[in-house]
Every structure is written in C-alpha cells, then in structure tokens.
Amino acid sequence: MDLSWLQTPLQALLRLQREVQQALGGAFRDATASEDGLQAAVLVLLALVFGMLHAIGPGHGKSVMVAYFVGQAAPLRQGLLSSVKLIGVHVGSAIVLVLAAVALLDISFGLRPADFPLVRRISYAGIAAVGLFLLVQALRGAPGRSHARGGGLLPYVVGLSPCPLTTIMMLAAVGTGAIVLGLIVSVAMALGMVVTVSAFALLAILARRRLLAVFERHRARIARIGRGFEVFGALAVTALGLLLLAGELA
C-alpha cells in the first residue's frame, strides 16, 4: 500500500510543532528574564497550543486508548476522564521525577535525570498486563468486570511513562530558578494534550456505537460482535504494551 501521500501532512505537522516549540522556548526565556505579566500569559497560551499539537504525534497513549474504547462499551465521560487521568499521570510523573532527581542527584556527576528507562519499562509491562487481563475477561464473557477493573487501571499504567517534553521544561525551570512558572507551563501543556487525547478516545467510543448500530438489524449477532470487539481491543492493548516493552529493552 502506497502511503507516500501521508508524508506531506506529517512533515507539515512536524514543522509546525518545531516552530511552536521554538516560540515556546523563546517565550519561556523572555518570561523568566522579565516580570511582565503579558509575556507570561503568552507563554501559557503557547504551551496550551503546543500541548495540543504535540499530542497529535506518536505516543501519549492514543493508540492504547483507541484500542481499549473500540473494544469496550463506555460512556463519553469515561473517555474524557480516562484521557485526563492518563495525561495527568504522564505529565505529573515527569514533574515528580525531575524534582526528585534534581533534589537527590548531583548533575555534575554525569547522571541524567531526564531519562527514566525503568519507569518506562514498568509502564509498558503494565499496559501488556492490563491487555492480557482484558483478554481473559473477554474470553470468559465478563465484560462488565473487565471494564471496571482493567479499564480503571489502564490510564494510570499508560501515563506512568514520563512526558519527555515536560521533563525538558522542568529541567529548564529548575536551572533558571523559575520552578513555579515551569509548573504552570507544564499544566498548560497537559491541558492541551488532554484536548487531543480525549478527542481520539471520544471518536473511538462514537465509532464503536455507530458500527454496532449498523448491525442492529441482526440482533442475534450483536452479542458476538460486541464480544469480538472486546477480544480485539484486549489483543491490541496487549500487543501495544509488548511492542513498547520490547523496543525499550532492545
């Protein structure tokens, strides 16, 4: 299959992300060097926009969320709440780990607090484990229990992998002594990421409903179709977790 037509929009998106990131970095330097509230407001707005654009790219758990909500019947609010939890842990883990690393480690010794491979491996293994749990429950015909347990845990294990962008931002904030400003910018970026990730989750929920509605005429097959979605979604979550873990270990 020829996917060359995707290169142009992807290149344009990456170019736009780089431009916004450069503007964000410049605005952060200007805001830390000045007490002008307007510059701080521009910085927060740029962080919000960049968070939305940044989350469109690879990562941020979008594929895992889509795989899960395609396989599980869920209300729209569940897609929004799961996205908020995922990004909250994703950004929060980076903030906590950076602040803890800076407080406990001497950077001059060559240690790199911006890299947390063990945490990423735990996150990816957790995704695979939740996927296997959902698969077992789906094969047993217990969708309610799998949704309540596995689905409730999934955003946390997906988001456990620290956000690299937040890590860089917090390291810069610590280095300039503008920790509060760094936290505000990180929260603004997180809100932007939530907008994008929740959009993918909500689209997956609506697509599942629409597809099942198409088969509404064949009522005898609805249960089998729904169960098939559960098995497919669980397999997809498991495969994604294993692939991420394998790539990290390699």
Task: Please give the pLDDT value at position 198.
Answer: 92
Per-residue pLDDT of 153-170, as tens digits, reads: 788 888 877 787 788 788
Per-residue pLDDT of 41-63, as tens digits, reads: 888 888 898 888 878 876 667 88
Task: Please give the pLDDT value at position 150.
Answer: 58
Task: Please give the pLDDT value at position 188.
Answer: 92
Instruction: Name residue 122's amino acid.
Output: I
- Sorted by sequence, the CB contacts under 8 Å of residue 92 that are 6+ apart come out as none
Least confident of 34-38, 179-183, 205-209: 34-38
Percent of the chain exceeding pLDDT 90 equals 8
Instruction: Name residue 205's amino acid.
Output: I
| pTM for this predicted structure | 0.75
Per-residue pLDDT of 59-74, as tens digits, reads: 667 888 888 888 777 8
Q: Rounded to the nearest 5 degrees, what angle is found at the Cα of 83, between the Cα atoms of 82 and 87?
A: 120
Alpha helices in the chain (DSSP H): 7-33, 37-54, 62-71, 76-104, 117-140, 143-159, 164-176, 179-214, 219-249
